[in-house]
Amino acid sequence: MKKLRLAIACCLLPVAFLFAASISSAFDLDSASLAEIKMLQYAPDRILVAFKDGISDATKAQVHESVGALSIRESYGKFYHVVTVREGTVDEMVRAYSQIPSVKHAEPDYFRFINFTPNDEFYSYQWNFAQINLPSAWDRSTGSGTTVAIVDTGVNPNGNDDFGGRLIQGYNFVKNTNDSSDDNGHGTHVAGTIGEETNNLTGCAGIAFNANILAVKVLNRRGVGYSSNIIDGIRWAADNGADVINMSLGASTGSQTEEDAVNYAYNNGVVICAASGNESEDTVGYPAAYENCIAVGATRYDKQLAPYSNTGDALDVVAPGGDTSVDQNHDDNPDGILQETFSRFLFRYYWDYYYFQGTSMASPHAAGVAALVISIHPTYTPAQVRNAIQSSAQDLGDPGWDPEFGWGLIDA
């Protein structure tokens, strides 16, 4: 009887030792940067191993020893083991465990994150951000290290909720000065969707709220400008650090000189997003229709095509553009895109939070998502960024690409 008890004790001894062992690892979750953790996706030195029902502790211990586990911790409820392995060998160890008949499954110990929700006072009215799954995207990227050029009426930082020191005064091609301030309100609204200061208890949130905003003024206070202004603005932005260019502007006629400017920016690594147009026509306007632009149409709250949005063969994707004639989400406000900007009356600016609608509001959603992509994939070419946006879009309308929705609703 004593011999039997001794034999059992000997069999269990390796299990007790392995479960109690503590092997230090070079990876420290508490000190690693958030960017590093998000790039890794899973712990570089530990895996999860579940055994099939009925497998004895002695057999489990033998398995762990045979594959070279450093230490083992039994989970709550004893459903699986957390296994410490040499850093950088996770994939190898998962394969090794998976080939053992007594193992039910083995997998990495994936990282999980809180779902960031901004505390901005009017964020709850920004239904458009939830539609493109921004809360989940913000757990991986906020646009850090990127620059988005707003080729528009300029950008004005003088409201209640500005851009947190990230606004770069670029150039004014209307008056040929360095003052690219907005005297219309359109460009400021567009810039807010892309990069408004976020999580500051004030106003609205922005998509890529850690991206730099480069203001390039090409339209006057009435929202009108020459094609030559746009051409110069595109080339200047490409030469002055833009990773993304947003153009919430356009017309029905193309220009070879303008397309040459788009191609110049594209060939210099810049992603270009442009509005498809608001004429309810079946032809995409220019510059959006150029091959190297991402042409963005507009959807409403119900994910149907906005009644004003241009469609056609050149359409690539759609994004929320709003419809101020309806209140489909029943929040007692029109279903437009909410951002801070100003109205201008008798040379005075009146700042407030305005609901706008249009493909002008849709395009900056795509530009903001492009900045999120580039932030975590800085070596991506414009073609790779475009593919990331198009291939991940929520398919609407006919299966696959169609002229009403393109590849679908962008999904951050």
The alpha carbon of 301 is separated from its chain's Cα centroid by a whole number of angstroms, namely: 20
Active-site residue, selected from the candidate residues 360, 363, 365, 411? 360
Active-site residue, selected from the candidate residues 64, 120, 161, 186? 186
137 Cβ contact partners less than 8 Å away, ≥ 6 residues apart: 369, 372, 412
C-alpha span between 206 and 128 (Å, rounded): 11
* Residue from 298, 323, 305, 336 nearest 125 by CA: 336
Question: 173 vs 21, 244, 396, CA distance in Å?
Answer: 68, 19, 39
Query: Containing H/E element for 18?
Result: helix 2-20
Q: Are 83 and 49 in contact (CB under 8 A)?
A: yes
**186 given a catalytic annotation:** yes
Burial annotation 287-297 (CB, 10 A radius, 16+ → b, else e) = bbbbebbbbbb
Reading the block at residue 367, the tokens are 């530009």
**377 given a catalytic annotation:** no
C-alpha span between 246 and 262 (Å, rounded): 11
Active-site residue, selected from the candidate residues 45, 120, 141, 152? 152
Active site residues: 152, 186, 360
